[in-house]
């Protein structure tokens, strides 16, 4: 991490769905202004890791944001501490306009966050064109952009993004990747859950590979072929 200030520190994280244990002692760190990609096959526990960080599943261990313990805290407290989350399902409000969706992403009482409507429309010009359109009529790519932009309106210190490029055309994949790089340039940390190796290799500072609910590899993207050969990734 090259001495970067820690934004997120996870140690010994375990998580369950009912009686089924999915995470088995995960350790993870994300520094300020750093993109960390979490890779692995389907069922490896990547999405469960994101949900456990946000408090959506039963979990034990430690999840610290800027040194403050989050485990046991409600979801809204974690958001106030600086966590933002974009799930794979995107979860936009289909009956509301693009503009209203973005407005709902703002923190209550927030006046001078780092991000404005103008920022969102500059980063995603397609949203500017469709600002008055209902989110439900947007394309899948446009809905993904809206979900990312709405999360950013909450001014998070760390944005957790689950499979943002899934189902997108190559040009939109590149646009989403560029968006995440732009966040890093503005000091926002990103925990990126992704299956597409080219995306991770291009933008991540570090990569974690998960297998069977554990971190089986951690290092810089240049070292990923070793993890691929071990069978935990699809080449």
pLDDT per position as a tens digit, 159-204: 999 999 888 888 888 888 999 999 999 899 999 998 888 888 899 9
- The tokens describing 122, both together, are 């500059």
Answer yes or no: do 222 and 182 share one domain.
yes
Does 87 fall in a domain? no
Backbone torsion region of residue 151, taken as left when φ is above 0, otherwise alpha when ψ lies between -120 and 50, otherwise beta: alpha
Single out the residue in 153, 182, 204 at which a domain terminates: 153
Answer yes or no: do 69 and 165 share one domain.
yes
Answer yes or no: do 8 and 102 share one domain.
no
Does 130 fall in a domain? yes
> Does the pLDDT of residue 228 top 80, yes or no?
no
Give the range of the structural domain holding residue 98, as residue numbers without chain letter: 94-153
How confident is the model at residue 99, as a pLDDT? 95
Answer yes or no: do 19 and 117 share one domain.
no
Question: What is the percent of the chain with per-residue pLDDT over 90, rounded to a whole number?
Answer: 65
Torsion (CA) 49, 51, 52, 53 in degrees, nearest 10: 90
Residue 51 sits in a domain of what CATH number?
Answer: 3.40.50.300
- Which string of DSSP letters, residue by residue, matches 179-199? HHHHHHHTT-EEEEE---HHH
Answer yes or no: do 78 and 2 share one domain.
yes
Instruction: Name the least confident of 2-6, 55-59, 207-211.
Output: 2-6
- φ/ψ of 27, rounded to 5, equals -115, 140
Answer yes or no: do 233 and 196 share one domain.
yes
How confident is the model at residue 180, as a pLDDT? 93
């Amino acid at each position: 991490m090259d001495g970067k200030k820690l934004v997120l520190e996870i140690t010994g994280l375990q998580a369950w769905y009912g009686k089924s244990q999915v995470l088995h002692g995960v350790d993870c760190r994300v520094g300020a202004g750093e993109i960390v990609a979490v890779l692995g096959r389907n069922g490896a526990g990547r999405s469960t890791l994101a949900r456990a960080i946000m408090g959506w599943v039963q979990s034990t261990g430690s999840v610290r944001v800027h040194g403050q313990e989050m485990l046991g805290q409600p979801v809204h407290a974690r958001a106030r501490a600086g966590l933002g989350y974009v799930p794979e399902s995107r979860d936009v409000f289909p009956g509301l306009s693009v503009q209203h969706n973005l407005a709902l992403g703002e923190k209550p009482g927030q006046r001078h966050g780092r991000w404005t409507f103008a920022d969102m429309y500059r980063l995603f010009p397609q949203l500017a064109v469709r600002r008055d359109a209902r989110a439900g009529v947007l394309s899948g790519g446009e809905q993904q952009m809206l979900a990312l932009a709405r999360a950013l309106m909450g001014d998070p210190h760390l944005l957790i993004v689950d499979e943002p490029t899934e189902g997108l055309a190559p040009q939109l994949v590149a646009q989403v990747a560029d968006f995440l790089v732009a966040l890093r340039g503005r000091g926002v940390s990103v925990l990126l859950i992704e299956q597409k190796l080219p995306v991770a290799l291009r933008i991540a500072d570090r990569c974690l590979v998960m297998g069977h609910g554990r971190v089986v590899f951690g290092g810089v993207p240049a070292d990923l072929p070793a993890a691929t050969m071990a069978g935990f990734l699809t080449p």
